[in-house]
Structure 1
Amino acid sequence: LMGFMPAVKRIMRTIPGGRQTLLFSATLDGDVDNLIREFQRDPKKHQVAAAENGGEIEHLFWNVNRDERTRMVSEIANHYERAIVFCRTKHGSDRLAGNLESLGVETCVIHGNRSQAQRERALEQFRRGKATVMVATDVAARGIHIDAVPVVVHFDLPEDPKDYIHRSGRTGRAGEKGVVISFVDKSIRRSTTQLTKNMPFDVVFVDPQFVDTSMPAQSPRPGSIGTVHTLALIGAGPQPE
């Protein structure tokens, strides 16, 4: 619940009893279970079936040294129409955005230190194509829908599998195809495998290699000739542990 559990419990204790309470969650975790046990009587669970097109998201785990990550985001920005890049901290988000701007990548930022007005301006920049990359912390991982985001990048992998799911869900929406790219160096391979052990895909660490595959653009960048260059990965094969 992104740190809001104490506030939610205060609200639940304040409102009158004898009510009907509906809880909605993309992932049913321990926090939600605690709410159910504490505040609901004879609860009923309804689960929406997984979308048939859920397989439209491809998960790629790239061997990238930490000092190469910014350059790789710049490469991704040059190939994709737009991308959402997730960082672990607010300071790290600001630093990455500044470094990308210095490389000529139009970038916007949203995180917890930005006011609501600043966040809305950043989202509008991204939606209108004035920013190619939106750098964000997990504040953007839930509840934000932006059409036609072809790629999500985990600049810093999260520690919680639920955060991986929510972040990755910003692409491949409404039947569209999407790519999720995670930057992994040798020091976090084991924790990455642990993070994704219950995910419905295999984790294979590969070296990033780019080829251009042009396809008609639904909303080409200003000044483009109507094609968007996307990334195709030439698998270098599994890397030794």
Structure 2
Amino acid sequence: MQFNQLGISKSLLRAIKQSGYTVPTSIQAQSIPAVLSGRDVMAAAQTGTGKTAGFTLPLLQLLNTNKKPSPSMPRALILTPTRELAAQVEESIRTYGINEPLSSTVVFGGVNIRPQIKSLKSGIDILVATPGRLLDLQREKAVYFSDIKILVLDEADRMLDMGFIHDVTRIIKMLPAKRQNLMFSATFSKEVRTLAKTICIKPLEIDANPRNSTVDTIEQSYYSVPQGDKTDLLIRLLKKNNEQVLVFSRTKHRADRISKALNKEKINAVAIHGNKSQNQRTSSLEGFKKYKHQVMVATDIAARGIDIDQLPIVINFDMPHVPEDYVHRIGRTGRAGSNGRAFSFVSDDEKKQLANIEHLIKQKIKLADNVEDQLFDENNETKSIPQKTLIEKTEPLKELQKRRRKFRNKKKPRLGIAKNPIETNHA
């Protein structure tokens, strides 16, 4: 199936072509016609399947009615659980809406509210928001909902996980009863279905992927490694690979420690988590997307909204307590049909988490045979170094690292700081 078979306008087709896409993904092929029909939609799709375009494209077409928006009265509302995801969604709107006479803005916490109020007063068609900041703006009488025609809940499952259900419920009660409702989630959990009953009216259900599945294009393996040896293992792997890597840490403090250890080894790394300011998080994410950093170390919540095309490798430094988070994590690679690799570091006390994950995804994750287990060298060949070389003999590696540091006299170049993303876009 092609995009021109989905009922999309010529101007949107041009934008899709300019973005380099030719064939819709499963979720796009199913959701775009459904949204264009005006029905309420409840869609499940894993991270990396193109679900954002699945609602932004038809949303842009439905709103293109030549009606000028009133000040502080958006016509469509998209709610997301995190600031990063909100920025990604608005970027998608900006990309696909380049030929449309529509305007959009994104609002989230952690930054000055005054520019956001000013943007809303200028009149915008599409508002992308996190629940907390949206309620702040409503209390400031900076936004009114009487013109809302379409409501989108993106990553509804994560919205519930993060405890936003009460904020979301308060917002929905302020919206017009007559509206189109779109819910997108990674899974159709019991909680998501309960929420859907309070929002959607006879929704069309779309399940683009088997529930709790991992993408076939992702090769998964794990290392059995003591907790104290994980940093050395990570350094060893990264020194054999010049591809970009997203590393997941369970805690904010550990993310900082990992990033610091990597930078000491001249591996350009940044950490992103909730303790960082919004400017720091935006700068780090933009730097990673522009290949200024080889490694990004992230916590689960901070990583929501990270959308990197062709990200080749994800590493779980810590195993997640919630098995579904594993699916979300590794879904950052292997996107849009490209190949990806996911490596997990599993200590003895994390074997139970590994078993729970395997039970969830209904497949065994293979034990890595080599320290570099198919991480690419310059010829894309596998290194044949026994795993015990690192796990059982860490001192020789540390001595080697000392010798390497001794001969590295060049100072690391200072990296420019990316500016905040533009918060208002007139497409």
Give distance in 2, aligned partners of 1:158 and 1:228: 33
User: What secondary structure is seen at the aligned counterpart in 1 of 2:291?
Assistant: coil
Q: What is the correspondence of 1:158-173 to structure 2 with a 5 Å cutoff?
A: 158-173=320-335
Q: Work out which of the residue numbers 41, 54, 62 in structure 1 matches 2:201.
A: 41
Residue of structure 2 equivalent to 1:79: 240
Instruction: Say whether 1:174 aligns with 2:336.
Output: yes
Flag the 1:93–1:182 CA change in 2: closer, same or farther, 3 A. Answer: same
Q: What code does the residue aligned with 2:237 have?
A: I
* Amino acid aligned to 1:72: L
Among 312, 319, 327, the residue aligned to 1:157: 319
Kindly provide the CA deviation profile for residues 59-113 of structure 1, in whole angstroms up to 9, marking residues without a partner as x: 1011111011111111222223110000111111111111221222110111112
Equivalences for 1:197-208 in 2 at 5 Å? 197-206=359-368, 208=370
TM, length-normalised to structure 1: 0.81
Structure 1 residue runs of 4 or more that deviate by more than 3 Å after TM superposition: 204-208, 211-215, 227-236
Q: Distance in 1 between matches of 2:384 and 2:180?
A: 50
Question: Which residue of 2 is the match for residue 110 of structure 1?
Answer: 272
Q: Select between 13-22 and 164-173 the one with higher mean Cα deviation.
A: 13-22
CA distance in 2, matches of 1:201, 1:234: 26
CA contact (8 A) 2:370 2:383 kept: no
CA contact (8 A) 1:141 1:166 kept: no
The answer to whether the 8 Å contact 2:310/2:333 transfers is yes
Give the whole-Å Cα distance in 1 for the aligned partners of 2:205 and 2:278: 34
Q: Which moved more, 1:81-90 or 1:16-25?
A: 16-25
Opposite residue 146 of structure 1, the aligned amino acid is I
Partner SS state of residue 74, structure 1: helix
Question: Which string of whole-angstrom CA distances, capped at 9 and with x for unpartnered residues, describes residues 156-191 of structure 1?
Answer: 111222211111011111222111011111222123
Alignment of 1:115-134 (within 5 A): 115-134=277-296
1:49-64 pair list within 5 angstroms: 49=209, 54-64=215-225
Residue 176 of structure 2 aligns to a residue whose secondary structure is coil
The CA distance in 2 between the partners of 1:160 and 1:38, in whole Å, is: 26
Cα distance, 1:47 vs. partner? Answer: 2.0
CA distance in 2, matches of 1:137, 1:233: 31
Give the structure with the larger helix fraction: 2
Of 48, 62, 65, which aligns to 2:226?
Answer: 65
d(CA) in 2 for partners of 1:205 and 1:212? 12
User: Alignment identity in percent?
Assistant: 35
Find the aligned partners of 2:224 and 2:179 in 1 and give their Cα distance: 52
Q: What SS does the corresponding residue of 1:139 show, helix, strand or coil?
A: helix
Deviation at 1:31, TM superposition (A): 3.1
For residues 99 and 231 of structure 1, do their structure 2 counterparts lie closer, same or farther at Cα, with a shift above 3 Å needed? farther
Could you tell me how far apart the structure 1 residues matched to 2:197 and 2:293 are?
Answer: 44
> Aligned pair count?
223
Contact 1:154 1:182 in 2 (8 A): yes
The answer (yes or no) to whether the contact 1:5–1:31 under 8 Å persists in 2 is: no
What displacement does 1:146 show? Answer: 0.8
Q: Does 1:12 align with 2:172?
A: yes
Identify if the C-alpha distance between structure 1 residues 41 and 147 changes in structure 2 by more than 3 Å, giving closer, same or farther.
closer
- Which structure ranks higher in relative contact order (CA pairs < 8 Å, sequence separation ≥ 6)? 1
TM-aligned CA distance change 1:116 to 1:85, over 3 Å:
same
* RMSD of equivalent CA atoms: 2.7
How far apart, in 2, do the equivalents of 1:195 and 1:153 lie?
Answer: 15
Deviations 1:186-218 (A, max 9, x none): 222123101220214313434543377767xxx
Q: 2:266 aligns to what SS in structure 1?
A: coil
1:32-67 superposed Cα distances (whole Å, 9 cap, x missing partner):
1221133333333122257xx932211101111101
Letter paired with 1:118: Q
Equivalent residue for 2:255?
Answer: 93
Specify whether residues 234 and 100 from structure 1 end up closer, same or farther in structure 2 by C-alpha distance, changes over 3 A only.
closer
Ranges in structure 2 where 5+ consecutive residues have no aligned partner: 1-158, 388-427
Are 2:273 and 2:298, in contact at CA under 8 Å, matched by a contact in 1?
yes
Instruction: Work out the CA distance in 2 between the residues paired with 1:133 and 1:15.
Output: 42
Structure 1 residue 235: Cα displacement: 9.1
Q: Name which of 8, 24, 30 aligns with 2:184.
A: 24
Task: Find the counterpart in structure 2 of residue 138 from structure 1.
Answer: 300
Q: Matched residues in 1 for 2:331 and 2:384: separation?
A: 21
Give the C-alpha shift of residue 128 in structure 1: 2.5
